[in-house]
Amino acid sequence: MNIPVQLSTSKKPKPEFSQAGFGQYFSDHMFTTEFDGKKWINPQIIPYQNLALDPAAAVLHYGQALFEGMKAFRQKNGKVVLFRPSVNWERMLQGADRLCMTSVPQDLFVEGIKQLVAVDESWVPADVGQALYIRPTLIGSEAFLGVKPSSKYIFYVILSPVASYYKEGLSPLSIWVEEHQVRAAPGGLGAVKAGANYAASLQAAKQARDRGHAQVLWLDVSHKYVEEVGTMNVFFIIENAGKTEAITPLLDGTILPGNTRSSVIQLLRDLGIPCTERKVAVQEIHDWHQAGKLKEAFGTGTAALISPMGQLTFESKVILINDKKIGPVSQKLYDQLSGIQHGLIEDRHQWMVPVS
């Protein structure tokens, strides 16, 4: 598939990649294609620019918006690779079905991203801990007022060089445990990467930051079971009778099936650490801590990769984890995953896909 390219006539100044933060700078080009009601048309790579949307576009009124988060890495040999792009396409396909949207075909999704990254290859950082973040987005573009699915769609991809998602980097985060609001309900949008999924989380996240915490630990509608931490999946490392075990909440329809989550589960097994997927009660966290069994807790996601948690703050109690230091399992998982992505460690599971 040879996608037409319209090169930008003016190049943007690149930031110092180590100081880029997350999602603050955007590369010179973007990929776009449209669904006209019958087929996908006009795939092209064009200069980064504003979208033209009718004020009555479905996305603006009824929230038909779906996105993915991916990364491209420059490996030690200089080659640029993507991390498991087919997994992101599969998740977008499932999300599109839930939102009654028409998903972009896999070949157009993957090839559009590959060729866009190839055009803006100079925006891919080289250092470990840095990457080119990729944001594929699908929106309903048909103009109408009346609640129904759009028949027309725009799919576009933008790129952003990033460093650490959190200013703390790998330093364990302070987390507020949200005991009132919920981010998702059974039968809702918690398991898909819809824009509306994240809108529900903004207020509690702001309140957590105002209290001096980096993120929110979300509980289910009963406020008895753990779901996600911020926008990440969550893992707990416990030690019982001298044996180390990882536990992560079961995917039951309200939790996003993360690409990094599934990769971490595989790496834990590679390390000989069993990982159990099941409901995790808040009371269990208290009990593990009281018994000295809770050794580590961390979030996993594309943006931050591995984010250790050093403190859980409830309205009536504070739990310190591993003296607010990164634990050996968290560190090993970060080293393994980032090493694979940057070509420093053998890619035994064939996760990395060359851009060209």
Does 7 map to a domain?
no
At 130, the amino acid letter reads Q
Same domain as 89, residue 51: yes
**pLDDT recorded at residue 286:** 96
The continuous run of DSSP H or E covering 157 comes out as strand 153-162
Q: Which of 163, 186, 209 is a domain's end point? A: 163
**pLDDT recorded at residue 167:** 73
The whole-model pTM stands at: 0.96
Q: Which of 132, 163, 194 is a domain's end point? A: 163
Rg for the chain (alpha carbons), in Å?
21
Tell me the average pLDDT across 102-117: 98
- The DSSP output letter for 14 is P
Does 10 map to a domain?
no
Same domain as 332, residue 262: yes
Same domain as 182, residue 158: no
pLDDT at 84 over 80: yes
Same domain as 217, residue 141: no
Does 2 map to a domain?
no
Contact (Cβ atoms closer than 8 angstroms) between residue 25 and residue 113: no
Q: Where are the alpha helices (DSSP H) in the chain?
A: 58-62, 85-98, 106-119, 195-199, 202-210, 259-270, 282-291, 328-341
pLDDT per position as a tens digit, 154-188: 999 999 999 988 877 789 999 999 999 999 999 99
CB atoms within 10 A of CB 264: 24
Three-state DSSP class for residue 324 = helix
For residue 333 the two structure tokens come to: 């998982």
Residue range(s) defining the domain that contains residue 97? 17-163
> Taking Cα atoms as reference points, which of 267, 243, 303, 328 lies closest to residue 71?
303
Same domain as 197, residue 331: yes
Least confident of 141-145, 197-201, 318-322: 197-201
Same domain as 319, residue 177: yes
pLDDT per position as a tens digit, 299-311: 999 999 999 999 9
Whole-angstrom distance, CA of residue 351 vs CA of residue 356: 15
